[in-house]
A = this chain, B = another copy of it.
């Protein structure tokens, strides 16, 4: 089930979130960010945040926010995370499909990912399968903990005209 995220949900999700940012392989978030700062960033500041819940467990989450202001506020941005134990079960795909529906309901016309780490091939392939295109490559955009400097992709999908 996918539903809006509460602060309690974020607390349950925090161990996953913390391990993702500490790994420094996928997200351009401060790896030392504390719970409250992470909650603000993921849940409070965005327009909405959702969780994927199964058997009372939070297995994944995403947020949605406007990617630009004023004359660019018709493009949204989302971020997705799935717990390590729940990976490979299609949850990221379900979250992304849900977010596209929510984006349309909120009146957004397109979705943009500003920093998909190029070495995160599972994510890149999934977004491509779901209709997102690489519209730009930022050279040396991400200091990957294992691989050093790697490029990031900007990905984009038109949702409605």
Contact = CB atoms under 8 A, between A and B. Distances in A.
A69 B30 contact: yes
Interface in A133-161: 135-145, 152, 154, 156, 158, 161
Nearest to A133: B139
B135 A69 contact: no
B109 A71 contact: no
Contact of A72 (B109, B115, B154): B115
Interface of A: 21, 24, 27-31, 33, 68-75, 109-110, 112, 114-115, 135-145, 152, 154, 156, 158, 161
Given A28-B68, A31-B70, A136-B138, 18 more contacts: A21-B70, A27-B71, A28-B69, A28-B72, A29-B69, A29-B70, A31-B71, A68-B141, A71-B145, A72-B141, A72-B143, A72-B152, A75-B141, A109-B140, A136-B136, A136-B137, A138-B154, A154-B154
10 contacts: A21-B70, A28-B68, A28-B70, A29-B70, A72-B115, A72-B141, A110-B139, A112-B138, A135-B139, A154-B154
